[in-house]
Structure 1
Amino acid sequence: MASKSKGGGKSGGFRVIIYLVKEREDGTDVYLITMFDKSEESTIKKEQLVKLISQLLEL
């Protein structure tokens, strides 16, 4: 996701990690797992992402 306030185009934005948990008749539950500034962290490790998803599924 680009951030106009930061300038810098695509590389000056944010990374958003979402996870689809389930679809229902009345809609879809989509959970935001994390969002981070690409200038502070360029990527997220697979192990970190798996841990975050596991914690979400325990709720």
Structure 2
Amino acid sequence: MQINELAQISSQVRRDCLRMVHAVQSGHPGAALGMCEYVVALYFNEMEHNSDFKMEGKGEDL
């Protein structure tokens, strides 16, 4: 995944965090906003996640 794609995802994640904090009128968004790029880079670039994964309880850690 390209850096500009990761930057766009990070921006969307930030907006989502702020919307959630605003919706409940509570929270401390600083940590979520501060580590957004790290989490996005790890999740979308480094981790080998399977988006088709479904928890069915067969041979999986639950």
TM-score w.r.t. the length of structure 1 is: 0.34
TM normalised by structure 2 equals 0.33
